[in-house]
Amino acid sequence: MQGTKVVRPFPFFRAGARASQPQLSKPILVLEDVYKFFRPDQPTLRGVNLLVDRGEFVFITGPSGAGKSTLLKLVYRELTVDEGRVLFCGRDIGRLTDGSVPFLRRNLGIVFQDFRIIDHWTVFENVAVALEILSIPQRLIRSRVAEALERVGLAGRGPEQTSNLSGGEKQRVAIARAIVPEPALILADEPTGNLDPHLAIDILTLFEEINATGTTVLFATHDHSLISKRDHRLVAIDEGRVVEAQKGLKHWPGSGIHTLVG
């Protein structure tokens, strides 16, 4: 921590707060001419511009190492931009103090390829942790966790040990943990990468159901079989640059899927 004062950027960043009308009309996420360097001569992201409206479902795709995860990490502030700006709900998150970052993350649900759930905890404990952070009363935590587990198809499995679950079920637990605080934006970083194609479609459908309730979803994947099945907006990153299509692969400006995912 930097020792500077904690900035709670605006009411929307507080747990349980709803966006005001002016905020609702703004795009939820804007990337303005973003550069990220891991090596001085070779930027991972070069001049990325992206605008995501509230309630959108966006595929982010590109070959391995293209910068999909980097882009998401810039949004949840695991990394900071070297040039340009990332605006979440109009706020430049690159300028948040370290103490304010937790309040940004409380508005985000993050799902990873490797699930990142705690094996020696129960399903309930894994999901409840996202609400315990918000100091929500236990009674409310119980009901909201039960509701989230029902949404991901794990109703009544709260007391089970997570280590006994299958890969698909573990990912559902991770999704339940991401949605339980009702975040404004869900960032899914290759959430189907460890699952077989059938389960991958199930998980994608689950994200679409979550999106249907108004939550914005950024779904990073390099699996073109998934992308080709849906008509969501498509953002491709290749060699650090962004190309996009508003309605899936059918409207892709290039010469086909291979130009997209390499």
Residue 106 interacts with other proteins (CB under 8 A)? Answer: yes
- The alpha carbon torsion through 95, 65, 219, 129 (nearest 10 deg) reads -60
Minimum separation from the CB atom of position 118 to other proteins (A): 5
- Taking residues 115 to 144 in sequence order and writing x for each that binds other proteins by CB under 8 A, - otherwise, the string is -xxx-x--------xx-xxxx---------
Q: How many residues bind other proteins (CB under 8 A)?
A: 25
Minimum separation from the CB atom of position 202 to other proteins (A): 23
Nearer to other proteins, 25 or 138 (CB): 138
The full DSSP string for 92-151 is EGGG--GGGHHHHHTTEEEEETT----TTSBHHHHHHHHHHTTT--HHHHHHHHHHHHHH
Among positions 27, 47, 94, 99, the unique one binding other proteins when judged by CB under 8 A: 99
Residue 181 interacts with other proteins (CB under 8 A)? Answer: yes
Structure tokens at 125: 């404990």
**Whole-angstrom distance, CA of residue 197 vs CA of residue 260:** 20
Nearer to other proteins, 3 or 40 (CB): 3
Residue 88 interacts with other proteins (CB under 8 A)? Answer: no
Structure tokens at 172: 């559902």
Asked if residues 261 and 224 have their Cβ atoms less than 8 Å apart, the reply is: yes
Selected range binding other proteins among 30-38, 112-120, 160-168, 204-212, rule: CB under 8 A = 112-120
Look at residues 154, 177, 152 and name the one whose alpha carbon lies nearest to residue 164: 154
Contact residues for other proteins, defined by CB under 8 A:
1, 15, 76, 78, 99, 102-108, 110, 116-118, 120, 129-130, 132-135, 177, 181
